[in-house]
Amino acid sequence: MNPTPAAQTAADFKADLERLLGLKTVTYKYNLSKDELFDEAIKNDRGRVRKDGGSNEQKCYPTKLGVKGPLVYYTDPDCTGRRVKDTYAVCWPEVADVMWWKDDVQRYDPEKYQGLLKRVVEHLNQKKASLYVKDVFMGADPEFSIPYRFVGEYATHAMFAHNMFPKDLKGVKDVAARRWTMLNAPSFVCVPERDGCRSECAVIIDIKNKICLVAGRMDYCGVVKKTIFTVGNYLLPLDGRLSMHCSANVGPKGDGAILFGLSGTGKTTLSADPDRRLIGDDETIWSDIGLCNLEDGCYAKLIDLNKEAEPVIAAALSKAGTIIENVPPPKGKRMEECDPQELDLTDKSITENTRFSYPLSANPNVMPNAQGPHPETIVLLTADAFGVLPPVAVLDAEQVMYHFVSGFTAKLAGTEVGVTEPKAAFSACFGAPFMAHKPSVYAKLLGEKMRKHKARCILLNTGWSGGAYGVGKRISIKDTRALLNAALRGDLDAGKVEYEKHPTLNLRMPKSCPGVDAKILNPRNTWSDKAAYDAAATKLRDMFKKNFADKGFAALGIQEVM
């Protein structure tokens, strides 16, 4: 009697995992539904949730909505975000000169890695671990989608993979040969002296064998997402596809746009426009046929969420299948008694990086198959807390490359009492930690695609005007949206508006824009102390120049434009 297709699939994946990793005495829970994973997470996901807590504490809870509402999950207290200093790639000879080695992705000795992988597998075999398996894809286009198999100890992570990635994608070729596998073992404890890592946990990308190893209490959900996106940022540019840390949407006339930006610059908020259809809010591909989301879900920050300004995200808090991460229950209440809308989204007692994961379908205005046309407009977002950059500047080709590899924003220095001096942040390609090639690889592809498809580019400042933080005011969302919409319509294109050049920053600033007070378009006009503005502009320019020199961008073929 021939086995059923489902039984044959199960037999195949078990054989694959034994062959690839050596897993033999474990049991699997394969491709469970979200409802099943919800129950499994509450029942079985155990680990540390308090600094002084044990390693067998409950990590997941329901709200009063039960399985019809969100799953609330608590990470290890040392892993409330990505531990970038514990993120590595195996330094095989074939990738040693290709990878962009940096603090966010460090070299891992191949011999040490093989020993560590073997010990992790032996650990799981010896404890006869129960592992959750979820087969998904990175990328909504079957032409280049990368098969991705999650294998791990936490049902929460399998549920997260289900939320965040396309499932059952038809037409993907050579699935087995092209598949990447993540082995995620939070119960394992690394020994740095033995294993060659920095601490008791490590995330290691093995390009040669298509493996992502998560060893130790690296249980922040974002690791399941960002690790495979780093892989995509390595593989996709090799075929001429530009992988981008950006949001993307499409206007009523079929005009595509992409918005790059670091955290806090407005990338998610500005792309969620009721008059434009969303492609995605975080990870996008620009290929020969247009734009495509790499995800099937959103992983949004929750801290200080304004429910009136972002009603779609607020509504998703109460939806079945949503995962809420590191938000405590209201004081005096058990989570099981709490309605999701009662949660205090200003509560930073666990972390400022509170998050939640929900399906892309929770947004009612998404492009079919999360795909769209080539972009007509490219937006580089920055939130300049120095109050120096203009609200909008129109960039030429060389300036696009320069500002793209600079990836600038400026934010408050931190939470230390009395510290209000803004702090510059530069992150190449607006996502340096996840870029596996040197920045010039992505910049070159961006420039080629912009020229081919005649895309315009603006630098849009969502930060301060009239002075730095503490003196000036944040540029209003009304003005920012008016400037963005004008750029999307082409109102700021050459020939349609007059420009003036910033004498220090060499930026073209429109002299007018519909719906915006012309006075704010030149930031110097908004400062009462003009000399102070000039000094601040010179200081910011010098920060750009220093970052450019320190990163060696000139040697990578990027032209200095300041």
CA angle 70, 318, 269 (to 5 degrees): 110
Q: What b/e readout covers 523-540, taking b as 16+ CB neighbours within 10 angstroms?
A: bbebbeeeeebeebbeeb
Is 331 catalytic? The answer is: no
Rounded CA separation 479/515 (Å): 8
Determine, yes or no, domain membership for 504: yes
User: Among the three residues 211, 239, 267, which one is the final residue of a domain in this structure?
Assistant: 239
In a domain, 201, yes or no: yes
Catalytic residue check, 16: no
Contact 265, 459 (CB under 8 A): no
78 in a domain, yes or no? no
Q: 233 and 276 share a domain?
A: no
The values of phi and psi at residue 255, to 5°, are -90, 120
Q: What's the whole-model pTM score? A: 0.91
Looking at 86, 195, 282, 347, which residue is catalytic? 282
Which of 241, 245, 438, 456 does the annotation list as catalytic? 245
Q: Choose the final residue of a domain: 218, 239, 260.
A: 239
Does the residue 191 lie in any domain?
yes
- Catalytic-residue membership of 267: yes
CATH number, domain containing residue 465 = 3.90.228.20
Distance of CA 521 to the CA centre of its chain: 31
Looking at the fold, whether 182 and 246 belong to one and the same domain comes out as no
Q: How far apart are CA 500 and CA 508, in angstroms?
A: 6
Closest to 131 measured CA to CA, from 121, 146, 119: 121
As a whole number of angstroms, the distance between CA 228 and CA 184 comes to 13
- 250 within domain boundaries: yes
Which residue(s) pair with 277 in the sheet?
250
Using DSSP, state whether 107 is helix, strand or coil. Answer: strand
**Active site residue: 48, 267, 374, 551, which one?**
267
Helix (H) or strand (E) holding 279: strand 277-280
Q: Say which of 83, 226, 438, 449 is annotated catalytic.
A: 226
**Tens-digit pLDDT string for the chain (562 aa):** 444 444 446 568 999 999 999 999 999 999 999 999 999 999 999 999 999 889 999 999 999 999 999 999 999 999 999 898 999 999 999 999 999 999 999 999 999 999 999 999 999 999 999 999 999 999 989 999 999 999 999 999 999 999 999 999 999 999 999 999 999 999 999 999 999 999 999 999 999 999 999 999 999 999 999 999 999 999 999 999 999 999 999 999 999 999 999 888 888 788 888 899 999 988 999 999 999 999 999 998 899 988 887 888 899 999 999 999 999 999 999 999 999 999 999 999 999 999 999 998 888 889 998 999 999 999 999 999 999 999 999 999 999 999 999 999 997 644 333 445 788 999 999 999 999 999 999 999 999 999 999 999 999 999 999 999 989 999 999 999 999 999 999 999 999 999 999 999 999 999 999 999 999 999 999 999 999 999 999 999 999 999 999 999 999 889 999 9
| Catalytic residue list contains 334 | no
Distance CA 77, CA 328 (A): 13
> Is the residue at 221 inside a domain?
yes
254: left (phi over 0), alpha (psi -120 to 50) or beta: left
115 and 165 in a single domain? The answer is: yes
Residues 6+ apart with CB under 8 A from 208: 90, 92, 94, 95
Q: Are residues 484 and 418 in the same domain?
A: yes
Alpha-carbon distance values, 118 to 21, 335, 375, 451 (Å)? 8, 39, 46, 48
Kindly state whether residues 250 and 169 are assigned to the same domain: no
On whether both 234 and 255 belong to a single domain, the answer is: no
Strand partners, 381: 460
State the catalytic residue, choosing from 263, 273, 339, 474. Answer: 263
Backbone angles phi, psi at 416, to 5 degrees: -65, 135
Q: Which of 59, 157, 162, 355 is catalytic?
A: 355
Domain residues for 126?
Answer: 16-54+83-239
Provide the number of structural domains found in the chain. Answer: 2
Residues 6+ apart with CB under 8 A from 169: 137, 140, 142, 145
To the query of whether residue 355 is one of the catalytic residues in this protein, the response is: yes
Residue with tokens 């005011």: 473
Q: Tokens for 312, please give them.
A: 């779609």
Tell me if 4 is assigned to some domain.
no
Alpha helices in 375-476 (DSSP H): 397-406, 439-453
The answer to whether residue 474 is domain-embedded is yes
**The domain spanning residue 144 has which CATH number?**
3.40.449.10
Q: What is the DSSP string of 170-199?
A: TT-SSHHHH-EEEEEETT----HHHHSSSS
Query: CA 230 to CA 88: how far, in whole Å?
Result: 11
| Residue 549: both structure tokens together | 């020199």
Q: Do 41 and 162 belong together in one domain? A: yes
H or E stretch covering 163:
helix 155-164
User: Could you say which of 45, 59, 80, 82 is catalytic?
Assistant: 82
Same domain? For 202 and 260 the reply is: no
Q: Are residues 129 and 265 in the same domain?
A: no
Can 243 be counted among the known catalytic residues?
no
pLDDT tens digits, residue range 359-393?
Answer: 988 888 899 989 999 999 999 999 999 999 999 99
Query: Do residues 171 and 271 share a domain?
Result: no
Q: Give the other-Cβ count within 10 Å of 361's Cβ.
A: 13
Residue with tokens 């829970």: 29
Question: Both 221 and 268 in a single domain?
Answer: no
| Options 80, 145, 227, 268, the catalytic residue | 268
Contact between 265 and 275 under an 8 Å Cβ cutoff? The reply is no
Say whether both 275 and 178 belong to one domain: no
Q: Distance between CA atoms of 317 and 71, rounded to whole angstroms?
A: 10
Q: Which of 239, 255, 278 is the endpoint of a domain?
A: 239
Selection from 216, 255, 209 nearest residue 83 by Cα: 216
